[in-house]
Amino acid sequence: MKLKPEERFALVEGLIKSLDEPDKRLDDIWAEESEKRLNAYREGKLEGVPMEEIFKEE
């Protein structure tokens, strides 16, 4: 609390940014999952859903 307001802001901003860093492992997991889903779709093992159906309001 003894820091100047702009110093406290910089500290808080740095802390928030450190929590918001992407986890590269999650990117790898999602990339693998998307490849599996795409392959299943191409092989006819998975059906697609039209975008209009996903976003239609009820």
Domain residue ranges of the chain, discontinuous segments joined by +: 22-58
Query: Could you tell me which of 23, 51, 24, 46 has the C-alpha nearest to residue 35?
Result: 46
What does the pLDDT read at residue 20? 76
What does the pLDDT read at residue 23? 81
Q: Is 49 within 8 Å of 37 (Cβ atoms)?
A: no
Question: Mind listing the pLDDT tens digit for each residue in 12-45?
Answer: 999 998 887 778 898 899 999 999 999 999 999 9
Q: Is the dihedral of CA 29, 31, 28, 22 positive or negative?
A: negative
What does the pLDDT read at residue 21? 76
Q: Cα separation of 6 and 24, whole Å?
A: 32
> Global pTM?
0.53
